[in-house]
Every structure is written in structure tokens, then in C-alpha cells.
Amino acid sequence: MHRRFIHTLDNTTKMKLSTRYTILSALALILMVSCKPMPESERLIPNEMETSKGRSVLIEDYSGVGCVNCPIAAKKITEAAAPHGDKVVIVALHGSNTGIGTQPKEDPKGLYSPEAATYLDRLQSGGSLPIATFNRRPLASSGSKTYSDSYTQWPAEMQAVRELPQLYKIDLQVSESDRKITTQCTATALAPAVQGVATELYLQLWLIEDDIVAPQHFRKGLDEAYQHNHIFRQTLNGIDGEAYELGKSYNQTSTIEREVIQPDQCSVVAILYDHKSGEVYEVAKAPLKGNNSTN
């Protein structure tokens, strides 16, 4: 009896030890898997070390006060762009005065712009809002059109452009006094081999404004005090900009045209693009009051 009891006790001890080893092995395996680096393609948030690389993105978000989906789209793309910092520049353009656009009776701050209307007409989008362009490139998800009317796809479209190599660099310096804007801008190719990529380079300068409190329709009704951001206000060097030679300093003095525009809330956007294809190759933004920009 005594020997049989010891034998049984030994077997029980062995089973406990075996169970412990199994648990420890499982924990070790979990730790090994959890510490394995996640592939960049599977990241939901960009690696902070990578946000300074890649091509800058100009997102032209065509919006309207009467468009109930427009604030939803604006929130979605603003959140997606936030981790990329200055490498993504959003401009909201009010170029429609239809029912879903921006009508005079609901536009006390002058969000609608005839220049924005010209840009919108060129897209031939059929009156749909919201729509957005991404460096004015043809989009595979939109049948090679240069705009997307599916705002759920916008973050992916933005990311696709960000992953392209950066070809040019823009140095942008701006200042303002008595509603006169002075802009100095220089663009350079990052490698001699890319100098001929864009055959007809142009430089556009735009004025945009943040923190504009004005009406906006939502699905639940009208918000009389909605905060509109990065609103296109005016061009500073013509509707298409001007021809530009790489490496040359481009200097421009412009006047803020409308009293409703608040200089303290404004920034200048510099857009380097190919006038033949329309594609944007680099973009930079600098506030009128604050630090200048290099992208």
C-alpha cells in the first residue's frame, strides 16, 4: 500500500510539471509573436519615422454648405491626414451654388468663390458633392477620372500618393502687412534625373483660411456655427499660376481681395504642377503669421 501511494504521487507530480511546461511554452510563443514587428503594409497608423518621406499630397476637397455628406467627408480625410503633418495639404473649395452647394443666403462669410467654380467646372463631375482630387492624378478606383466621389475611399487614395517617391522640394516664405502678401518660393529637383519628369512646370499660389464660423447643413439639420477649415479664398498669381523654372526664386506680391478674409487665420499654399498633364508633383503650406515651410 505504501509503495503504491508513492507511485501515484510521482505520477501526479509529473502531470503537474508537464502542465506547467506546456503553459510556459505557450506564454513564450505568445511573447515571441507579440514582439514580432508589424509589416508597414499592415499598419493602421503610419510609422512616425516614415511620415517625412514620400510625396506630398494636395487634396482638393470640393464642398458645399448645403451638402450634408460634406462635413462627414471633411472629418474623415482630416483625421486620415493628421499623422502625415505638413506632407498632406487639404484645401476645401466651395465652387457650387446649387442646392447642395453654397448659396448666397447661407453664405455670410463668402465661402463660395468664382475661382473655385472654375476649377470645379473643369473636373466635369456632374454636380456631385463632395468630391476630391489627390495631386490631380487619375484614380484607378474612379475609372481613371481625376476625382473621387466616394469619400470612404479618400484615405486610401491619399496613402497611395504618399507612397510615391518625392521628386521635388519647395521652400516657401510668406509675410503679410496691411493686407499685402509677400511670397518667396523656390522649387528644386531632388535628383538631376528627375529634372525632365514634368515637361511644363507651373507654380500656383493660393490663399486659404481656417477657423471660419459659418452655417453648414448636416443630416440632422443646420448648424449655424460650424467651424470651416482650410477654405480656398483666392488665387495669388492667376487661375493657373505661372510658368516656373526650377531653382529660380519666385517672388510675388498680392493683395487680400475681400474684407471678410482674416489674415491672422490664413496660409499660403504653393503648388508645383505639370501644366500639360495637370499632375501636382509637390505642395507646401505656410501661415501668414508664423513659421515658414519647406517640403
Reported as a single tens digit per residue, the pLDDT across 240-270 is 999 999 999 999 999 999 999 999 999 999 9
Between the alpha carbon of residue 107 and those of residues 67, 99, 251, the distances in Å are 13, 13, 33
Whether the upstream peptide bond of residue 165 has omega within 30° of 0, thus cis, is no
The pLDDT assigned to 110 comes to 98
Is position 42 within any domain?
no
CATH of the domain at 129: 2.60.40.10
pLDDT band of residue 194 (cuts 50, 70, 90) is: low
Is position 51 within any domain?
no
Mean pLDDT, to the nearest integer, of 271-281?
A: 97
The pLDDT assigned to 25 comes to 54
Between the alpha carbon of residue 247 and those of residues 185, 188, 194, 241, the distances in Å are 10, 5, 13, 17
Q: How many CB atoms lie within 10 A of CB 108?
A: 13
The pLDDT assigned to 192 comes to 72
Reported as a single tens digit per residue, the pLDDT across 153-193 is 999 999 999 999 999 999 999 999 999 999 999 999 998 76
Mean pLDDT, to the nearest integer, of 68-87?
A: 98
Is position 44 within any domain?
no
Is position 40 within any domain?
no
Reported as a single tens digit per residue, the pLDDT across 22-52 is 544 544 444 443 334 444 434 444 444 345 6
Is position 243 within any domain?
yes
Amino acid at position 60, single letter: E
Task: Flag whether pLDDT at 20 surpasses 60.
Answer: no
Total domains, the chain: 1
The pLDDT assigned to 195 comes to 61
pLDDT band of residue 13 (cuts 50, 70, 90) is: very low
User: For strand 57-62 and strand 88-93, is the pairing parallel, antiparallel, or unpaired?
Assistant: parallel
Reported as a single tens digit per residue, the pLDDT across 81-129 is 999 999 999 999 999 999 999 999 999 999 999 999 999 999 999 999 9
Q: What angle do CA 41, 42, 48 make, to 5 degrees?
A: 75
Is position 21 within any domain?
no
Is position 233 within any domain?
yes
Is position 39 within any domain?
no
The pLDDT assigned to 199 comes to 76
Q: What is the largest CA-CA distance in the chain?
A: 106
Domain range for 235 is 57-287
